Structure 1
Amino acid sequence: MGSDGGAEQPWNPQRQRSANERLLLDRLRAAGPASRAQLARDSGLSKPTVSSALAALEQAGLVREAGTHSPERGRSAVLYSPDPTAGYALGIDIGRGWVRVALADLDATLVARSAVRNDARTSGVLADLVVGAARALVERSGIDPGRLTHAVVGSPGIFDEESRRVRHARNLPGWGRPGLADRIGAGLGLPTAFHNDANLAALGEYTFGAGASSRLFLYLMVGTGLGMGVVSEGRLFTGARGGAGEIGFLPWPGRTRPDAEAVVSAEGVVAAAREYGMTGPLSASDVFDAARARVPAALKAVEAEGEHLALIVASAAAVLDPDLVVLGGGVGKSADLLLPVLRRTLRTLGPLRPKVVAGALAEDAVLMGAVATALDAARDMAFQRR
């Protein structure tokens, strides 16, 4: 019989040493600096085994000395911690208005970041803009490009791994063109993954923001478009083909464009404000500013948006039963106006009433989600490259 590619690999001393090193590195990353003796107690490994593994990790540049611990009795002990400079991760957020880029070390500390206005007229120019912004940031940071290990790109739409194309990115015209993802990856010179922006924003808020202690939480991104990310027990739920959370496609009868994104978005806010009598050039931000100034038409438009959002939350709650919903995106920045209406309306729509709060990361949610996702891969790759 031929060998089974999925069969368990036979044990050998080298593999065991690698497993020991990874065990100790993960322990240091999760619980902070520790001495050899502490690591031996926590891991169940012998002190000689721990000493040998730490020496190998230190030689590979993955751990470093982090001071000493002086107990009341006995000798001082050297403390070890992961070396955050063993690798770097790149996070990229592609939006209709801006391209944001951040560079982080393996401790999730942002080393550098930038925001470049997206004035690209074609998808090819946008791809080149993304690469140029990322490479310029790395150059300004002074980090050796050879230490970059992974990049994650977030954008509207659903990335299809098989065809290597983004689908349903209607707010970025032409973004579904073949070859764009590979063009960006080749330009960055890094292993590069692509994800939906709302999914990354959900991970960003879960890792660094408002969703940290939630068991099942939803991130509702309301801005140019409408999207939702679902995080269950710390893991992103994307559905069978990556489309979970594309709540913008929810049917919305009685409209020229019969889906929720046309109503529950910046476009919907402006359309409602015009229906109630506001005139002249308008953006959603203008409407919210006018509502704060107590302009009646703007107040009515905000009331309508809050009611529409409540219907979206109630619909999602009926299917997923989240314990927390985080409101983010460009429209979500006006949560102070929207949440009172949303919560009040939600009480009238059914018995499932999750807690709804404003996002903590504002426009950084997608970027920080990209960084968090890239770091998971970067840490693995830094260890594998040792």
Structure 2
Amino acid sequence: MTSYGEGSDQPWNPRRGRSGNERLLLDRLRTDGPASRAQLARDTGLSKPTVSSALASLELAGLARQAGTHSPERGRSAVLYAPDPTAGYALGIDIGRSWLRVALADLDGTIVAGSEAHNSARSSGALVELVVGTARHLVDTSGIEPHKLAHAVVGTPGVYDSVSRRVRFAQKLPGWDRAGLFDDIRAGLGIPLEIHNDANLAALGEYTHGVGAGSRLFVYVMVGTGLGMGVVSEGRLFTGAHGGAGEIGFLPWPHASPAGSPAPPSAPDIAAAPGQMEAMVSGHAVVTTARSLGMNHPADAKEVFDAAREGDAAAARAVEEEARRLAYTVAVVASVLDPDLLVLGGGIGHSADLLLAPVHEHLRALTPLRVRLAAGALGDGAVLHGAVATALEAARDLTFDRKRPGG
């Protein structure tokens, strides 16, 4: 087997060759678990002296450590090696309209500390201060050495434009489209930072740690204060040419409604334009529909669903209407993407027990396509799990580069 330093388009040199071999071994240990020198030599094709030298360098750099021994029936016991998860850390941040959630994970992906704060910020500057303050406090109180924090990923509503350095379409966060705003967060944290759409990260989180594992084409529909969608194809996020893939809230809603259906929500009750899908399917729409049907001032969608479980007739009708609208949404998505699994998440996902059966029923009348539906397994943590998973990829690379001689 050819070692990492050979066969590339750059001149080979001994240092780069050693670094490539060390990375090869580290990736093997991370993927398949602890292994001995002999096993690593067999798996990678590297010679035993090369493996021994690379492991010694990894141990010296704090990237790998001994992880016990293996005693075969015959022969001497062998020392097992594993990546050192404490060599570096990744930070995941979920910025929502109502809540801010932050998690700190080691290089194995284990979340070692987490925090959440109510988002009461009324300006972009105040929200930046809340994000930076909450994240820094989490790191300070976690016992983690700050210099080991390698990379952060932020999940936010809207689409981040890396050219203009601003977020588009995040109407629910005042001033969130200010250019350079995430530069302020990056400077406040003092580490590399990536920005991703929250529904995309939720899809990746649910695919990696939830019910989406193994799906060929996985779709996550996030229904909460807004409406968004994330698509994972063959294990990778699909974001489109400009990052806007999945912004289904902007789809036009058909003006014709079945007889007896409540009128569309009025613009003051929702953030989206009244002719768009988000205006008809989001949590705000559930509340507005329930009020129009006679329910006495529900505060939020959760209250409507709770009342429906208790037998409130107006609430039950509002839930049925939400199921009908969700079925239309799913039918549109199924026609365009043909997913093998579609998950309902966000705040509405908590009420999948009331929605999945009627959504299936309405789907049969709308489309001949059959879609497998499920409720998300990660609940409110889906975005954060996706942010951590994304941050880990970069954190592992950055930690390796930092700790290598000359890094």
User: TM-score, normalised on structure 1?
Assistant: 0.97
Distance 1:367 1:129 in 2: 17
How far apart in 1 are the matches of 2:77 and 2:366? 63
The alpha-carbon deviation at position 280 of structure 1 amounts to 2.2
Contact 2:290 2:317 survives alignment (8 Å): yes
Distance apart, 1:281 and its partner CA: 4.3
Specify the alignment match of 1:4 in structure 2. none
2:398 maps to amino acid: M
Q: What is the Cα-based RMSD across aligned positions, in Å?
A: 1.0
Deviation at 1:253, TM superposition (A): 3.3
Secondary structure at the aligned position of 1:333 is classed as helix
Partner in structure 2 of residue 23 of structure 1: 24
Equivalent residues in 2 for 1:27-38 (5 A)? 27-38=28-39
- Structure 1 residue ranges, 4+ long, deviating more than 2 angstroms after superposition: 253-256, 279-282
Does the alignment pair 1:329 with 2:311? no
Which residue in 2 is equivalent to 1:170? 171
Give me the whole-angstrom Cα distance separating, in 1, the residues matched to 2:226 and 2:394.
29
Specify the code of the residue in structure 2 equivalent to 1:177: R
Structure 1 match to 2:131: 130
Q: SS state of the match for residue 332, structure 2?
A: helix
Alpha-carbon deviations, 1:238-265, whole Å to 9, x = none?
Answer: 0000000001101013355100111101
Mapped partners of 1:169, 1:353: distance in 2: 33
Candidates 313, 319, 327, aligned match of 2:336: 319
Q: Residue 277 of structure 1: which of 268, 291, 294 is its match?
A: 294
In the alignment, the residues of structure 2 paired with residue 225 and residue 70 of structure 1 have an alpha-carbon distance, to the nearest angstrom, of 56
Tell me what 2:305 maps to: 288
Residues 247-256 or 78-87, more deviating: 247-256
Counterpart-to-counterpart distance in 2, 1:348 and 1:57: 60
Alignment of 1:144-293 (within 5 A): 144-254=145-255, 255=264, 257-293=274-310
Offset of residue 350 of structure 1: 1.6
Structure 2: how far apart are the matches of 1:81 and 1:234?
25
Query: In the alignment, residue 160 of structure 1 is paired with which amino acid?
Result: D
- In the alignment, the residues of structure 1 paired with residue 146 and residue 279 of structure 2 have an alpha-carbon distance, to the nearest angstrom, of 42
Q: Quote the Cα distance in structure 1 between the aligned partners of 2:93 and 2:30.
A: 24
d(CA) in 2 for partners of 1:307 and 1:107? 42
Which ranges in structure 2 are unaligned for 5 or more consecutive residues?
A: 1-7, 256-263, 267-273
Contact persistence 1:219–1:325 (CA under 8 A): yes
Aligned position for 1:340? 357
**Whole-Å Cα distance in 1 between the matches of residues 199 and 395 of structure 2?**
22
Residue 87 of structure 1: how far off its partner (Å): 0.4
Instruction: Please say if residues 54 and 63 of structure 1, whose CA atoms lie closer than 8 Å, have aligned partners that are also in contact.
Output: yes
Q: Give aligned pairs, total.
A: 380
Unmatched segments (≥5 aa) in structure 1: 1-6
2:269 aligned partner = none
Letter in 1 for 2:253: W
Is 1:14 matched up with 2:15? yes
Q: Contact 2:290/2:298 (CA < 8 Å) preserved in 1?
A: no
| Aligned counterpart for 2:319 among listed residues 284, 302, 312 | 302
Contact 1:34/1:80, CA 8 A, preserved across alignment? yes
Q: Distance in 2 between matches of 1:17 and 1:334?
A: 54
Identity of aligned residues (%): 69
Q: Bigger CA drift: 280-289 or 138-147?
A: 280-289
Q: Does the CA-based 8 Å contact 1:21-1:54 persist in structure 2?
A: yes
Q: How big is the shift at 1:378?
A: 0.2
Counting only pairs closer than 5 Å after superposition, residues 24-173 of structure 1 correspond to structure 2 as 24-173=25-174
SS of equivalent residue, structure 1 residue 218: strand
The equivalent of 1:3 in structure 2 is none
Contact 2:105 2:112 in 1 (8 A): yes
CA contact (8 A) 2:291 2:298 kept: no
Cα distance in 2 between the residues matched to 1:23 and 1:344 = 51
More displaced 10-residue stretch of structure 1: 10-19 or 137-146: 10-19
Match of 1:351 among 368, 374, 377: 368
Higher mean alpha-carbon deviation, 229-238 vs 278-287, is at 278-287
Deviation track 1:355-379 (CA, whole Å, cap 9, x = no partner) reads 1100000000001100000001000
Q: CA deviation at 1:338?
A: 0.7
Residues in 2 aligned to 1:234 and 1:378: alpha-carbon distance in whole angstroms = 19
Q: 1-side partners of 2:238 and 2:336: how far apart?
A: 13
Query: Greater CA deviation, 324-333 or 273-282?
Result: 273-282
CA distance in 1, matches of 2:172, 2:201: 17
- 1:246-290, CA deviations, whole angstroms, 9 ceiling, x for partnerless residues? 011010133551001111011110111112111224311110011
